[in-house]
Structure 1
Amino acid sequence: MKVSEIMTKATVTDAAQDTLAEAAARMWNAQTGSLLVMEGEHLLGIVTERDVLRAIAHGMDPNQVPLKDLMRTDVITVGPQTTLKEAAKLMATKWIRHLPVVEGSRVVGILSQRDLTGVLAEALHEPEALHQLVEASDLIRERRLKRIEAGDLD
């Protein structure tokens, strides 16, 4: 199964100067856990619900902090033809929950762990798909255990 088969439309903003509060509201309204920060067609960065929570936990004022000061600019992406197994492995090894889907230089969607969970639920009746998802799940668990053993919990 390919990423393009389950990816969702990405929630985006063209305003890197938007505040965290504005980003949180946009994510809430779109019922998504991430926001892609764009400049025209160019992907500048990503902000996730965890980034917003981390900023607030560190005492930042969400009404004052612009996205450009918090967004992650080292965005890892996948193509629409990437397999779900490859995408899940990438998420597990890089400790990320959202993968922008890029075709050429254009963002065409986003894949989240929630999307993968939905496929898992549907795959309970499809043995081959279930097998692939179990393999990906085992890999994620193995990576998490190694990370815990290494003391890298953030």
Structure 2
Amino acid sequence: MVALAEVMTTEVVTLEPDASVSDAARAMVAGGFGSVVVVQGRMILGILTERDVLRAAASEEDLRAARLDKWMTPDPDTAIPGLDTEDAAATML
């Protein structure tokens, strides 16, 4: 049995839902991340991935004005570090 804590990344970038897609893209590049966790206080609201940034860019919306809450994937699946990786995989699929 391998626990998620042994294989997971603990460093993440977080932004509020009213941040812009442009802000998120800059944060991802600066930190070397492929996603941003969208939070309100300590509550996870969603996740914005590189693919979401591409969708927003393809829409021709101004990315400096495009809010994360419009483009994020809401309510992403989450798991606790002590969970077994096989159980986590089953949950995510």
Question: The TM-score by the shorter chain falls in which range?
Answer: 0.7 to 0.9
Cα RMSD (Å) of the superposition?
A: 1.5
Shift of 1:59: 2.2
Shift of 1:42: 1.1
Moved over 4 A (4+): none
For structure 2, the 5+ residue unaligned runs are none
Which of the two has higher C-alpha Rg?
A: 1
Letter in 2 for 1:48: T
For structure 1, the 5+ residue unaligned runs are 94-154
Letter in 2 for 1:68: D
State, as a whole percentage, how many aligned pairs show the same letter: 34
Distance 1:26 1:57 in 2: 20
Letter in 1 for 2:31: A
Deviates more, 1:22-31 or 1:79-88: 79-88
| TM-score normalised by the chain length of structure 1 | 0.54
Contact 2:17 2:38 in 1 (8 A): yes
The structure carrying a bigger helix percent of its residues is: 1
Aligned residue-pair number: 91
Q: Which residue does the alignment assign to 2:48? A: 47
| TM-score normalised by the chain length of structure 2 | 0.84
Q: Which residue does the alignment assign to 1:123? A: none
Q: Which residue does the alignment assign to 1:56? A: 57
Structure with larger RCO (C-alpha < 8 A, sep 6+): 2
